[in-house]
Amino acid sequence: MLLQEIKTIFHKELEGIYPKEEIDAFFYRCIEHYLGFERFVLVVRPNTTVTMEEEQPLFEALAQLKQERPLQYILGTAHFMDMEFAVNEDVLIPRPETEELVQWIMDDVKNQTYDIRNQTSEIEHRTSEIRILDIGTGSGCIAIALAKYIPNAKVYALDISEKALDVARKNAKANTVDVTFLKQSILEPEPELALEFDIIVSNPPYVRELEKKEIKKNVTDHEPHLALFVSDDDPLLFYRAITHFANKNLTKKGSLYLEINQYLGVETQALLKAHNFSEIELRKDIFGNDRMLKGTVK
């Protein structure tokens, strides 16, 4: 069959479920993943054909897309910070907004004269390591990116889900970084982690039940609710526990970075103030939503 014909079938079958541009993206990502074709293959070779064996995984992916299963789960991979991560329904799919949070941390470290993403061997190391903790690591994308791009970082990451930690460990190995993973709930009265950190970062559950109607079916039906939702009665449950822990376990002038609910920016800022944080900064994401918060221990 002509590859162009398969592209036409993708659009015919998925029209009305996804925008045209997203269908294009699905098709090109699938042919890259399954066939190793570059996006421009149909421009250079418009009469490209594929065998029945080669087209089978494309149509299998199409069937799952019609059921609104996320493409990342279909392919088993997601991109984040120029790296590839294994993902499944045990972990959230890494998102661009979270890349912004990681970039903020990297920029702050770089502004303190530590080299980030240095492509040469001439890396200026700080005399002591930067100790970082990622709370609720999921796929490990935040922890692994920070370990990858901050040469003198010693990174720890915790999650309550053993299945998520299995995915995170595989991702750390695949991306050749050393991260210490711990099975731990931040909601325990006193998490057993007797260490001090220079940086604590977290993207905890923050979507209220009342906001479910705003979320696409491919998220609510497939991504782990444990990592997404909190009750309407106590939407800052995890943030309270994290700020309490951070206040006790950050070094002097250590920083806490959070991804937050866009509707609860003021409330989350107030929580940090109540826990003795200073230099509190709220930032918007690429979509213009209040999404990231930073505070420093006085």
pLDDT digits (tens, 9 = 90+) for 19-40: 999 999 999 999 999 999 998 8
* pLDDT score recorded for residue 213: 81
Amino acid 265: pLDDT: 94
DSSP β-ladder status, 197-202 and 290-297: unpaired
Sheet holding 250-259, edge to edge: 179-183, 153-159, 130-135, 197-202, 250-259, 290-297, 277-284
Helices of type H across 47-156: 52-66, 71-75, 96-111, 141-149
188: confidence class by pLDDT, cuts 50, 70, 90: confident
Q: pLDDT tens for residues 95-127?
A: 999 999 999 999 999 887 434 434 333 334 444
Q: What is the DSSP string of 2-61?
A: BHHHHHHHHHHHHBTTB-HHHHHHHHHHHHHHHH---TTHHHH-TT-B--HHHHHHHHHH
Cβ atoms within 10 Å, residue 56: 12
- According to DSSP, the β-strands at 229-230 and 207-208 are parallel
CA dist., res. 138 & res. 195, Å (int)? 21
Pick the range with the lowest mean pLDDT from 80-89, 175-184, 208-217: 208-217
Name residue 132's beta-bridge partners: 155, 199
- Centroid of chain to Cα 151: 20
- For the whole model, what pTM was predicted? 0.90
Task: Write down the pLDDT at residue 140.
Answer: 98
**The tokens 């997203």 sit on which residue?**
22
Return d(Cα 285, Cα 271) in angstroms, integer.
Answer: 21
Give the pLDDT band (50/70/90) at residue 71: very high
User: What distance in Å separates the CA atoms of residue 255 and residue 258, rounded to the nearest whole number?
Assistant: 10
